[in-house]
Structure 1
Amino acid sequence: MILSSASTGQVMLGVAAAAAYAVPALQAARSHPLTVRGALLLAWLLHASLLVLGVVGDTPRFGFAPALSVTAWLVLTVYGVESRLFPQLQARWALAGLGGLAVVLALLFPGQPLHVAASPWLPLHWALGIASYGLFGAAVVHAWLMTRAEQRFRQAADPHSGLPLLTLERLTFRFVSAGFVLLSATLLAGWLFGETLYGRAWKWDHKSVFSVLSWLAFATLLVGRARFGWRGKRAMRMLYTGAGLLLLAYVGSRFVLEVLLPRGGSV
């Protein structure tokens, strides 16, 4: 837990990042836009510093909460870049809340220490997997924005209050495609080089099963989109299904081991 596993510097950075995230999450509608953007940028920088400190510390750790923390930071990074290109994007309060929650969870559940004999290629394998989490997370955020835009359209709200539906749809599937490529590379590396990375060959455990099921869901979505023109609710349901299965793969299995059935072991 936090008192025994996190350094003073990590606790201070985490508290500061969560406090900075709270400004756009709770005060987005009442604060000046410059204040909200400044607080979100500060929170993003503090969050990045916290992640770096966790990697270069004396005992690097990893688990379900750090994985969620990195994913949230990546989604916020994507949003920061996109908001420069598309100022109409309006998801600061939701993403700030996600970032703050991820930071707090990572402090409370910092995960297990990395094994000293871990392969030097293991961080690269994790980086591929977490990057795919981030891209699929960005796709889910865009799918949520699409749903919100459709609701505004049906309610005859201001059509200029957000990105057009077709633009959101195009961005969503770009993120899905990029995430699918990285997920494929992650699974292929685990299958071919599992013994080098983890000291054992590929094993059909819960993580592997859910990862493959999520890959199949995303593959079905992309084929359905290209071959049959899937869009709207059918495509969104498949996207949410794939994202949910992927979340269960590593984050879900580690949550069970670290929280519901706490025990030591490699990550």
Structure 2
Amino acid sequence: MQALPFATIAFVLYVAAATWQGMALFRRVPPRQGMVRLLGALGLLLHIPVVVQLMGQSPGLLPGFTTSATLFMAVAVNVLLIASLFKPVLNVGIVLFPLAGVALITATWLPSHTSQTGLTPGILLHAISSALAFAMLAIAAIQAILVGLQNQALRHHHIRGIVQSLPPLTTMERVLFELVWAGILLLTLSIVSGFIFLDNIFAQHLLHKTVLSLGAWVIFTTLLIGRYRFGWRGMRAVRWTLGGCTLLILAYFGSKFVLEILLNR
């Protein structure tokens, strides 16, 4: 299978879905959530075989930076499409869909290094929970950006445009914390399974991931405690969510990016 044509078509579908949803958000076109989901789902259907091929070309079991990024993006898009059936989160696709498309195109062009490891059920549990945790918290981060924009607009009494198209701020914040709750539960499972099933989670090649993941867990847990104990909301919730997600991105992709992209190792 030629990966590039599939990746290119998926990219176009993702951008089309994001563009329509963005124009609907700014009230330039009527909302068509079913069409947006369909475009995103078609993009995902082309995304998945490219990921499978990229992982099949890898000699090891742990994919490198570009393959990992496009794999995690596929999981995130899938989670978003399913969650959008039950929660008003489809606006997250304005950012997530193009990122998934860019990751997919990049993965087909740039080589991805791999590393060997024994794949056991425990390690598989750790990998799946890590991917789902990242997907859920990445969606939460984009939701937090929308909450921040909405909060600032309301503070400055800008009640037209994007504010009119988004759900009420209380609903947006409730969905944000529901996403964080789901993400922290998955992140907890990822960390616990890592301690149980990985030989040495504080080994040199895993130390940064362990420390940063624990740091992200502390940030998200503190946010949830602050929410339900002290009523944290608004921009404080936005900042804590984005801070935790930043640590998580560095944990999952930081060293891979430095070694493979910057140092070409």
* TM-score, scaled to structure 1: 0.81
Which moved further from structure 2: 237-246 or 139-148?
139-148
Q: Structure 1 CA distance, aligned partners of 2:58 and 2:256?
A: 22
Which moved further from structure 2: 117-126 or 239-248?
117-126
Which string of whole-angstrom CA distances, capped at 9 and with x for unpartnered residues, describes residues 99-155 of structure 1? Answer: 21121222234532352x523233331111111000101111211221233344330
Which string of whole-angstrom CA distances, capped at 9 and with x for unpartnered residues, describes residues 198-220 of structure 1? Answer: xx453362222211111111111
Q: Structure 2 CA distance, aligned partners of 1:74 and 1:155?
A: 35
Amino acid at match of 2:50: L
**1:180 match:** 184
Q: Structure 1 CA distance, aligned partners of 2:17 and 2:148?
A: 22
How many residues align? The count is 251
Q: Gaps (5+ residues) in structure 2?
A: none
Determine if the alignment matches structure 1 residue 134 to structure 2 residue 108. no
2:8 pairs with one of 2, 15, 28:
15
Task: Check the 8 A contact 2:125/2:193 in 1, yes or no.
Answer: no
**2:80 match:** 79
Which moved further from structure 2: 186-195 or 167-176?
186-195
Amino acid at match of 1:145: L
Could you say what the CA RMSD is over the residues aligned between the two structures, in angstroms? 2.8
Q: How does 1:243-258 map to 2 (within 5 A)?
A: 243-258=245-260
Determine if the alignment matches structure 1 residue 203 to structure 2 residue 203. yes
**1:190 match:** 194
The runs of 4+ residues in structure 1 deviating greater than 6 Å are none
**1:47 match:** 47
Task: Check the 8 A contact 1:88/1:161 in 2, yes or no.
Answer: no
**2:159 match:** 156
Q: Gaps (5+ residues) in structure 1?
A: 1-7
Task: Check the 8 A contact 1:73/1:99 in 2, yes or no.
Answer: yes
Q: Structure 2 CA distance, aligned partners of 1:206 and 1:88?
A: 31
Q: Structure 2 CA distance, aligned partners of 1:222 and 1:47?
A: 34
Amino acid at match of 1:14: A
Q: Percent identity?
A: 31
**1:98 match:** 99
2:225 pairs with one of 213, 223, 235:
223
* TM-score, scaled to structure 2: 0.81
